[in-house]
Structure formats: structure tokens, C-alpha cells
Structure 1
Amino acid sequence: MTAPAAVTVRRATVADAHAIAVVHIGAWREAYAGHMPAEFLARMDVEQSARNWTAILQRGDTDAFVAERDGEVIGWATAGSGRDDDPPRPRELEGIYILAKAYGTGAGQQLLDAAIGDAPAYLWVLDGNPRAEAFYRRNGFTRDGATSSHPAGSATLPTVRLTR
């Protein structure tokens, strides 16, 4: 039996926009089923998302990385100087998503390391997402007491901020 291919992480390019969109939507549907309205998740459109990702990658104002295994993008992460008006740390992990089939491969850790390393940083996470919060705790993040909400179709999702 052949061992699974190793995961590699690299900077994303505009050519990755479609693959990132596929992972973005797939990972949201996997991770947020039961948290977001089903109709909101069903309406997510890969082609529209790919156009959005193309614009993000062309602007270059965020650091974007992809994780690949066997030539397939299985995850992505973005980080930047912080989108909040008064960021608590100099760097924000803006997003990190891995397809469920790649859980346990180390892709998430490699993406986090590429995006923010061990620098002081912050992020927002869905309140009630224990898998994600446990991952961030293992990487030194703790809740700092800040909360917010994120609109998702007809729902509003509670989010909490984690810092290290």
C-alpha cells in the first residue's frame, strides 16, 4: 500500500483562485452545516467566489497560501495587518479552511505556520466551533472577551476573538 502524499504549502497565485473557491465553499458546507442556514450554503457559487478570489489575489493586500496534496488544493489561509478598526495584535489570521478529507494531514498547521508563524496575532472564530477553537488553543490562542456577529443569509452567527 502506498502512503498518502505529503502536504505542501506555498503562496497562492491568481491561477489558484478557482481551486481556493472550491475549497472555500466545500469547507464552509462541511464545517458550518447546522450553524448556517442550509439555503445560504446551497446558494454559494463557485464561479462568483472564484471571481472574488481573483480580485483578492490580484490586489495583493493579503498574504494567501494554499495547501496541496497530490496536486490538489485541499486548504487555504490568508493573513494581513488586521481588518478591525483597532486590531489587538499586528497580524490577523483572516481565514483558514481545510477540506474534511484532509483533516489530520497537518495541512492546517502548515497553513497557520506559513500565514502567521509564531507572531502575535488574532482571529475571529464561530462561537460553538470546538474543533477550530481546540486547534487555535494548541497554537497559543485564547479568547480575549471580544465578540461580534457575522451575517449569513437570514442568520447572524456569533463570533469570538482569539489572540496570542
Structure 2
Amino acid sequence: MSSAMNADVSARLAWPDDAAAIVRVQLASWRRGFADVLPAAELDAIDSDELTQRWATTISAPQDARMRVLVALERADIRGFALVHPSYDPDADQVRDGEVGEFVVDTEHQRAGHGSRLLQAAMDTLAADRFTRAVWWIGSTDDVLRGFVTESGWEADGAHRELATADGATVKQVRLHTSLA
């Protein structure tokens, strides 16, 4: 067996001390995923210390008790993270509808089961918070993530949106949903 198959892997709620590693994974993902939308200088200008503090606050003092950050681990190393919370969409029922607001697995550690564990932990967390449906906005051109999500039982619900960046570019997204029952 390979060492990757024997690795100590898990998913758990994030701790405030995890914030710097979450930022490392997030910024690497943004550099890869938004390179065609955001100029490199804009990505390089992000204050990682400020972002780390924002994540630490989100973990330790979230805006809503049902907002949670989860991490995927290989031994003690963070390989990915997810943010789940009530859905804030205008057509959402904030009592019943939860959302996967962020979901990132380090590109160097994809296809090792971290995403599957993290997604299962996110779904379990949303269900434990008594949400009955989950939604997830995904980049319209992210075929890899969409394939992973739809293979896990999610379906597009026809909703779409465009998010504007600081320099006027847009990021197009489609919404997927699944039942948590």
C-alpha cells in the first residue's frame, strides 16, 4: 500500500490556530482558480495577516452560531477547508436552507480523499444544525468541482449569478442543491 493510503486523515471543526493554514490553502487556490479573472498584482496585494485574523474571528466568534469552518487534515497538516452557514440567498429559507460557502482542497493534495471527507463533514454539520437542504454556488467553468459535487448527489437548480471583482471583471456561478434528509 502507498503511504497516502495509510496516512492519518480526518476532518474536524477548525480551531482559531488553524487560520494561517486556511489562508495558505485559500490564497493558493485563488491564484490558480482566478488567474484569468484577477490580476496577479491584486492577488499579491492581499494582506494575509488581515485575512488570517478574519478567519480566526470567523472560527472563534461567528456571525451566526450555525456558521462553521471545517478542515481536512493529513496528520496535523491542513489539506482543505469548508465554510458552512445558513443560506443568505433571497429565495432561501434561512431555517431550512444551509450553504457550503467555501470549499477548497489544496491543489497538491487533491484526489486523496480529502474532498470527500470534508464534504461529508460539511453535510453532517449542516444536518446537525437542522438544515434540510443545502445549496452551493460553484464557478460556471469549474467542471472538476461540478463533477465532484454532482457525483455526490447534488443537482443544478437553475439559479445563476455574476459577481463583480474590484477591477470590473465578473465571475459567473451556478447554484446546486441537495437534500440533507
Q: TM-score, normalising length from structure 2?
A: 0.82
Cα RMSD, aligned residues only: 2.0
Match of 1:160 in 2: 174
Displaced runs of 4+ in structure 1, greater than 3 A? Answer: none
Q: Which runs of 5+ in 2 are unaligned?
A: none
Question: Cα offset for 1:20?
Answer: 1.0
Question: Cα offset for 1:103?
Answer: 0.6
- Deviations 1:68-127 (Å, cap 9, x if unpaired)? 113211100011111223226611111110111111111111111111148531110111
Correspondence list, 1:117-132, <5 A: 117=124, 120-132=133-145
Choose 1 or 2 for highest CA Rg.
Answer: 2
- Deviations 1:32-73 (Å, cap 9, x if unpaired)? 322433333222332121011022112233111111113211
Secondary structure, in 3 states, of the residue corresponding to 1:64? strand
Match of 2:118 in 1: 111
Match of 1:84 in 2: 89
Question: Cα offset for 1:2?
Answer: 6.2
Q: TM-score, normalising length from structure 1?
A: 0.89
Q: Is the 8 A contact 1:37 1:153 kept in 2?
A: no
Equivalent position to 1:19, from 11, 18, 21: 21
Match of 1:136 in 2: 149
Q: Which runs of 5+ in 1 are unaligned?
A: none
Equivalent position to 2:158, from 142, 145, 148: 145
Amino acid at match of 1:30: R
Q: Is the 8 A contact 1:37 1:152 kept in 2?
A: no
Match of 2:55 in 1: 53
Query: How far apart, CA to CA, are the structure 2 residues paired with 1:108 and 1:32?
Result: 20
Q: Is the 8 A contact 1:91 1:116 kept in 2?
A: no
Q: Is the 8 A contact 2:138 2:175 kept in 1?
A: yes
Query: How far apart, CA to CA, are the structure 2 residues paired with 1:146 and 1:2?
Result: 42
Query: How far apart, CA to CA, are the structure 1 residues paired with 2:141 and 2:38?
Result: 12
Q: Is the 8 A contact 2:37 2:170 kept in 1?
A: no
Amino acid at match of 2:109: A
Question: Cα offset for 1:148?
Answer: 1.0
Query: How far apart, CA to CA, are the structure 1 residues paired with 2:164 and 2:34?
Result: 13
